[in-house]
């Protein structure tokens, strides 16, 4: 457009902008055009930009998908072993293997979708009421408990927490704990994860025994920590098990522990857990730790190229999840939504293995993984016009 | 990550007089803070007041403009700013302008229901570590499909509230009528589409209002629409790539992620605007007679995904505590400055007029643990001593498991902070979560240890009923 054309157009278009430019001036437009013609040119020149460029049609812009460049992959770790693989499980599960940041579907969908482990304890423990309701029948029987989780709640794998081995609780011996493990192995055919009690004296011997009785099953031993790792790593090496490398919200400590474990283990034998804090009570630390670990792993940091695990049941540490307080709404909903949202945030941060408890939260996270794992082309018409929908009010 | 301007790029564009008006020691100090976005350019008043710096100012504003522009709407104290994002990941620096929560209201409600809804939105609140969590604004929906009704409802709304308003309709006539009625309140207009951009764009330009560009599921078209609105002289643009829940959630998350990543990492200027999502869309699947809880559940999941994945503003229908509490908590968590220390100072803290007979409790120096315990003690309103043990910033549960909270550490803290000189008795109240180490603690400290409540919400009752003095 030439300078001359611009001016002609402006003159015509001025009407559109009269209100804008000459607020508080009450002169009819026609009058204005005649009386103030020289001024119009001047005023118009000032608003030249917006007025001028009122486009006649859409101005195309191309959107380039913002691909990143990732040099390395997250290791694949397989838990559980079928008959053919030397164990007795009906299936094994593989996690990790990712080539891009979590859920950047345009770059790469998750290599293996995350999985959910249901927590089973080897003795009766105190649980929030909303959780207990679902387990009260089986709380004295870990084998039945495990069956319930698999058959009714759809858990992919089971974590058996041997908390009774704690010296402060029942001080169960490693041999007795081994019996419970065998019962649970009999009761369910999904892969099994073994958790220790968090007793620095007992964790080593208990997990060493677990590694032994699970020979061939490729179980995940939870956990090796900076304080107790040698015996666990050694037993995992000897019996070909996988180790959960657990630290407390400290990325350098996580690297350090992984560096030590690798003296015994192959990369396919390590899963990492930076500690999960509940929604509202430090979730952001876990979230950011996981995001950083995943990115570092993709960008070549060999000490962080491992799939990630979360003790998502920690969500129940938030009082808002279980407080009996009518003003906060029904706790039957509040609790499981708390566990679900905690899981969802960590899912998006890149977590691979969720240890969970509430059946509704387990189902929700399964659904989310299913919904999120691929892009489905949607027609513009399939997006509802929410601005004009009649909605139920006050419910 | 897109390169943010460094101090050495900023410094030469400042006045260079070291006048200290900004509160910094000199211009270089200001430039350093500006590079971290911990000060506002406006604080350098000479830059704005003196004609000679006008050119520099324009250059500076361009230089420090965040890759995602900031859009402000509403008026007065309640005005809300969205976007202004500097980075893709919060650990790259920090997230600014927490996701704004807008709750819908229908223009078809009768007067009483309308007023009640406004009140309910304004009054929704919860106290969370010393701060009041709240919602941010009201989205007026044109359910009536009648421009006059819509405009009237908009007028009514500004009589009832000074909160920011979003005018929502895909019909330009509706938007035109309502914008005419309340333009002085600077509402956000929703929305210009591929079909209506020229009409709606004109309404926005005429009144100088921020505008949402809405193109579902097609990023090329959305970029073109933003580009076009920009060419019309509209600079306050918000992008809506469409929100689907359930089986459409993957596509939705992907679109939002691509947009934010392109803006922050690839410097794509055309789409460098705040993003809007509409978890309220889940209600399209709601069938009358169904339990609304299921739809609310979906709305929470969709909203939570969008808060994590870069939504700068969300439009919601649910107004329950159980739906919006996890969402406001999630927002607070993600928008916390990641360099904020995890730990508070260890030491002995006095509550009220604690004397030599007052109870002594202990906790860890993880900031969140500390602040939670602090607010619970205050709520109990009992004079108390609180011994804060250095656990390297870990919560009680993790610190016990990770051996950062041990009997010896507790005993050392008792000595170090002279607790034995402050009180006559020798009874220590331990967190319920540290019950495991209570026996050892008695041995190493010589104190009697009473195990307190497992969750600190039990503290007020525990202190008021003097449980620690029971045998
Ligand atoms: S107010 Fe501006 S000119 Fe004065 S010291 Fe600060 S940055 Fe420099």
> B171-196: per-residue pLDDT in tens?
999 999 999 999 999 999 999 999 99
Do the beta carbons of residue A225 and residue A232 sit within 8 Å?
Answer: no
* Nearest Cα residue to B93 out of B141, B164, B39, B35: B35
Please list every residue in chain A whose beta carbon sits closer than 8 Å to the beta carbon of residue B199: none
- How far does the CA of residue B286 sit from the closest CA of chain A (Å)? 8
Pocket test for ligand 1, best of B11, B12, B17 (most atoms within 8 A of CB): B17
**Ligand 1 neighbours by CB, cut-off 6 Å:** B 14-15, 17-22, 24, 26-27, 30, 44, 46-47
Q: What is the mean pLDDT of chain A?
A: 88
CATH of segment(s) B7-64:
1.10.15.40
Domain limits for position A278: 76-372
The residue whose CA is least distant from atom 3 of ligand 1 is: B15
Distance CA B319, CA B28 (A): 48
The verdict on residue A393 lying in a domain is no
Chain B residue with CA closest to A52: the answer is B232
- How many other CB atoms are found less than 10 A from the CB of residue A262? 16
Q: Tokens for B91?
A: 């650990």
Q: Tokens for B214?
A: 């809405």
| Best residue in B325, B431, B457 for a mutation probing chain A (most A CBs within 10 Å) | B325
pLDDT for B1 equals: 54
The verdict on residue A140 lying in a domain is yes
In this structure, the answer to whether residues A243 and A178 fall within a common structural domain is yes
Do the beta carbons of residue A68 and residue B265 sit within 8 Å?
Answer: yes
Provide the percentage of residues in chain A whose pLDDT is more than 90: 80
In this structure, the answer to whether residues A46 and A88 fall within a common structural domain is no
CA atoms within 13 A of residue B132's CA, in its CB half-sphere: 7
In this structure, the answer to whether residues A47 and A99 fall within a common structural domain is no
Q: Tokens for A137?
A: 């029948």
| A268-293: average pLDDT | 95
Own/partner long-range contacts of A323-326 (Cβ < 8 Å, ≥24 apart): A323/B457, A324/A129
* Nearest Cα residue to B454 out of B378, B379, B396, B374: B396
The verdict on residue A379 lying in a domain is no
pLDDT for B246 equals: 95
DSSP for residue A250: -
In this structure, the answer to whether residues A145 and A251 fall within a common structural domain is yes
Whether residue A7 is predicted with pLDDT greater than 90 in this model: the reply is no
CATH of segment(s) B70-334:
3.20.20.20
In this structure, the answer to whether residues A25 and A143 fall within a common structural domain is no
Kindly give the distance from the C-alpha atom of residue B34 to the centroid of ligand 1, in angstroms, as a whole number: 11
Do the beta carbons of residue A203 and residue A181 sit within 8 Å?
Answer: no
> A92-105: per-residue pLDDT in tens?
999 999 999 999 99
N- to C-terminal Cα distance for chain A?
Answer: 58
Q: What pLDDT band is residue B401 in, cutting at 50, 70 and 90?
A: confident
Distance CA A140, CA A125 (A): 9
Show me where the domains of chain B are located. 7-64, 70-334, 347-469
Give me the residue label for tokens 């992959």. Answer: A73
Interchain CB contact of B89 with A (< 8 Å): yes
> B247-279: per-residue pLDDT in tens?
999 999 999 999 999 999 999 999 999 999 999
* Nearest Cα residue to A92 out of A217, A222, A265, A272: A217
- How far does the CA of residue B359 sit from the closest CA of chain A (Å)? 24
Q: Tokens for B84?
A: 């202004």
> A298-323: per-residue pLDDT in tens?
999 999 999 999 999 999 989 999 99
Q: Tokens for A41?
A: 């040119």
pLDDT for A45 equals: 41
Q: What pLDDT band is residue A29 in, cutting at 50, 70 and 90?
A: very low
In this structure, the answer to whether residues A240 and A299 fall within a common structural domain is yes
Give me the residue label for tokens 């976005």. Answer: B37
Closest in B143, B253, B254 to A390, CB measured: B143
Interchain CB contact of A368 with B (< 8 Å): yes
| B287-295: average pLDDT | 92
* Nearest Cα residue to A273 out of B94, B335, B398, B435: B398
In this structure, the answer to whether residues A183 and A319 fall within a common structural domain is yes
- How far does the CA of residue B422 sit from the closest CA of chain A (Å)? 31
How many structural domains compose chain A? Answer: 2
Own/partner long-range contacts of A366-369 (Cβ < 8 Å, ≥24 apart): A366/A116, A366/A154, A367/B246, A368/A343, A368/A344, A368/B249, A368/B301, A369/A113, A369/A114
Residues 6+ apart with CB under 8 A from B344: B365, B367, B370, B371, B388
pLDDT for B339 equals: 79
Q: Tokens for A43?
A: 């005023």
* Nearest Cα residue to A182 out of A217, A208, A157, A149: A217
3.40.50.720, 3.40.50.11600, 3.90.1310.10, 3.40.50.10480: which CATH number matches B347-469? 3.40.50.11600
In this structure, the answer to whether residues A347 and A235 fall within a common structural domain is yes
pLDDT for A53 equals: 59
Whether residue A17 is predicted with pLDDT greater than 80 in this model: the reply is no
* Ramachandran angles phi, psi of B406, nearest 5°: -125, 165
User: Would you call B297 and A337 a contact, using CB atoms and an 8 Å cutoff?
Assistant: yes
In this structure, the answer to whether residues A35 and A161 fall within a common structural domain is no
Give me the residue label for tokens 């001593």. Answer: B385
In this structure, the answer to whether residues A181 and A34 fall within a common structural domain is no
* Nearest Cα residue to B330 out of B307, B296, B298, B301: B307
Distance CA A339, CA B322 (A): 12
In this structure, the answer to whether residues A23 and A81 fall within a common structural domain is no
Do domains B7-64 and B70-334 share one topology? The answer is no
- How many other CB atoms are found less than 10 A from the CB of residue A242? 23
Four-CA torsion A365, A367, A370, A374, nearest 10 degrees:
-90
pLDDT for B368 equals: 80
- How many other CB atoms are found less than 10 A from the CB of residue B401? 24
Identify the burial level of B371 via C-beta atoms within 10 angstroms of its C-beta, where 0-12 means exposed, 13-18 middle and 19 or more buried: middle
The pTM for the full model equals 0.88
Whether residue A22 is predicted with pLDDT greater than 60 in this model: the reply is no
SS (H, E, C) chain B: CCCCCCHHHHHHHCCCCCCCCCCCCCHHHHHHHHHCCCCCHHHCHHHHHCHHHHHHHHHHHHHHCCCCCEEEECCHHHCEEEECCCCCCHHHCCCCCCCEEEEEEECCCCHHHHHHHHHHHHHCEEEECCEEEECCEEEEECCCCCHHHHHHHHHHHHHHCCCCEEEECCCHHHHHHHHHHHHHHCCEEEEECCCCHHHHHHHHHHHCCCEEEECCCCHHHHHHHHHHHHHCCCCCEEEECCCCCHHHHHHHHHHHHHHHHHHHCCCCCCCCCCEEECHHHHHHHCCCCCCHHHHHHHHHHHHHHHHHCCCCEEEECCCCHHHHHHHHHHHHHHCCCCCCCCECCCEEEEECCCCCCCCEEEEECEHHHHHHHHHHHHHHCCCEEEEEECCCCCCHHHHHHCCCCCHHHHHHHHHHCCHHHHCCCCEEEECHHHHHHHHHHHHHHCCEEEECCCCHHHHHHHHHCCHHHCC
> B428-468: per-residue pLDDT in tens?
999 999 998 999 999 999 999 999 998 888 999 999 999 99
In this structure, the answer to whether residues A80 and A44 fall within a common structural domain is no
3-state secondary structure of A1: coil
The residue whose CA is least distant from atom 2 of ligand 1 is: B44
β-partners of residue A338 are none
Kindly give the distance from the C-alpha atom of residue B15 to the centroid of ligand 1, in angstroms, as a whole number: 6
> A48-89: per-residue pLDDT in tens?
444 445 788 999 999 999 999 999 999 999 999 999 999 999
Do the beta carbons of residue B389 and residue B410 sit within 8 Å?
Answer: yes
Distance CA A53, CA A74 (A): 50
């Amino acid at each position: 457009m030439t300078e001359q054309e611009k001016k002609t157009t402006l003159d015509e278009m001025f009407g559109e902008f009269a209100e804008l430019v000459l607020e508080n001036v009450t002169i009819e437009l026609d009058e204005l055009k005649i009386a103030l013609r020289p001024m119009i040119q001047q005023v118009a020149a000032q608003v030249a930009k917006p007025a001028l460029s009122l486009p006649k049609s859409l101005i195309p812009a191309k959107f380039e998908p913002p691909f990143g460049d990732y040099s390395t992959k997250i290791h694949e770790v397989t838990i559980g072993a079928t008959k053919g693989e030397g164990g007795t499980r009906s299936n094994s599960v593989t996690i990790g293997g990712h080539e891009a940041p979590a859920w950047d579907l345009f770059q790469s969908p998750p290599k293996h979708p995350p999985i959910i482990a249901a927590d089973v304890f080897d003795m009766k423990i105190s649980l929030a009421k909303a959780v207990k309701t679902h387990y009260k029948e089986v709380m004295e029987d870990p084998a039945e408990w495990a069956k319930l989780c698999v058959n009714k709640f759809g858990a992919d794998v089971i974590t058996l927490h041997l908390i009774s081995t704690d010296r402060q609780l029942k001080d169960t011996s490693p041999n007795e704990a081994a019996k419970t493990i065998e019962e649970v192995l009999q009761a369910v055919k999904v892969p099994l994860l073994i958790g220790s009690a968090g007793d620095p004296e007992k964790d080593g011997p208990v997990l060493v025994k677990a590694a032994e009785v699970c020979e061939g099953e490729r179980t995940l031993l939870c956990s090796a920590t900076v304080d107790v790792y040698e015996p666990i790593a050694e037993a995992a090496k000897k019996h070909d098990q996988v180790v959960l490398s657990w630290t407390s919200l400290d990325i350098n400590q996580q690297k350090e522990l992984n560096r030590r474990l690798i003296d015994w283990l192959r990369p396919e034998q390590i899963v990492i857990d930076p500690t999960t804090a509940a929604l509202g009570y430090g979730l952001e630390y876990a979230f950011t730790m996981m995001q950083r670990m995943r990115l570092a792993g993709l960008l070549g940091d060999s000490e962080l190229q491992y799939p990630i695990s979360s003790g998502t049941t920690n969500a129940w540490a938030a009082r808002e999840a279980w407080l009996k307080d009518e003003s906060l709404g029904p706790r039957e909903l509040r609790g499981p939504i708390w566990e679900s949202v905690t899981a969802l945030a960590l899912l998006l941060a890149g977590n691979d293995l969720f240890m969970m408890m509430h059946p509704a939260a387990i189902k929700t996270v399964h659904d989310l993984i299913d919904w999120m794992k691929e892009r489905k082309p949607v027609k513009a018409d399939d997006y509802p016009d929410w601005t004009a929908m009649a909605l139920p009010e006050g419910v | 990550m897109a390169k943010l301007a460094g101090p050495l790029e900023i410094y030469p564009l400042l006045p260079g007089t070291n006048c200290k008006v900004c509160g910094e020691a000199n211009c270089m100090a200001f430039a350093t803070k500006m590079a971290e976005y911990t000060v506002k350019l406006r604080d350098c008043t000479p830059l704005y007041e003196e004609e000679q710096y006008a050119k520099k100012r324009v250059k500076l504003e361009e230089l420090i403009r965040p890759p995602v522009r900031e859009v402000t709407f509403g008026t007065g104290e309640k005005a809300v700013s969205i976007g202004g994002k500097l980075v893709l990941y919060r650990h790259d620096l920090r997230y600014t302008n927490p996701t704004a929560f807008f709750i819908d209201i229908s223009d078809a409600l009768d007067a009483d229901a309308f007023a009640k809804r406004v009140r309910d939105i304004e009054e929704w609140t919860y106290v969370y570590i010393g701060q009041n969590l709240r919602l941010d604004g009201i989205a007026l929906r044109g359910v009536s499909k009648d421009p006059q009704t819509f405009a009237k409802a908009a007028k009514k709304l500004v009589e009832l509230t000074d909160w920011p308003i979003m005018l929502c309709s895909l019909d330009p006539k509706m938007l035109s009528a309502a914008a005419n009625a309340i333009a002085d309140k600077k509402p956000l207009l929703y929305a210009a589409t591929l079909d209506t951009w020229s009409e709606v764009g004109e309404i926005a330009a005429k009144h100088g209002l921020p505008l949402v560009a809405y193109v579902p599921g097609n990023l090329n078209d959305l970029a073109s629409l933003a580009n076009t609105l920009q060419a019309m002289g509209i600079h306050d643009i918000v992008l809506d790539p469409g929100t689907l829940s359930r089986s459409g959630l993957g596509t939705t998350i992907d679109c939002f992620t691509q947009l934010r990543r392109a803006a922050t990492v690839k410097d794509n200027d055309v789409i460098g605007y705040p993003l809007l999502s509409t978890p309220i869309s889940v209600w399209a699947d709601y069938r009358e007679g169904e339990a609304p809880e299921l739809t609310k559940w979906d709305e929470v999941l969709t909203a939570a995904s969008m808060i994590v994945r870069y939504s700068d503003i969300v439009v919601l229908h649910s107004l329950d505590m159980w739906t919006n509490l996890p969402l406001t908590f999630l927002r607070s968590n993600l928008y916390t400055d990641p360099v904020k220390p995890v730990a508070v100072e260890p030491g002995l803290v006095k509550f009220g007029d604690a004397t030599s007979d007052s109870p002594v409790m202990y906790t860890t120096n993880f900031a969140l643990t500390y602040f939670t315990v602090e607010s619970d003690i205050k709520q109990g309103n009992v004079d108390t001593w609180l011994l804060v043990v250095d656990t390297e910033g870990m919560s009680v549960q993790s610190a016990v498991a990770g051996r950062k909270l041990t009997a010896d550490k507790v005993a050392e803290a008792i000595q170090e902070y002279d607790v034995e000189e402050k009180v006559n008795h020798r009874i220590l109240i331990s967190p319920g979560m540290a019950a495991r180490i209570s026996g050892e603690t008695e041995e190493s400290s010589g104190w009697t240890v009473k195990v307190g409540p497992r969750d600190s919400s039990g503290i007020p009752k525990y202190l008021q009923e003097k449980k620690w003095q029971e045998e």
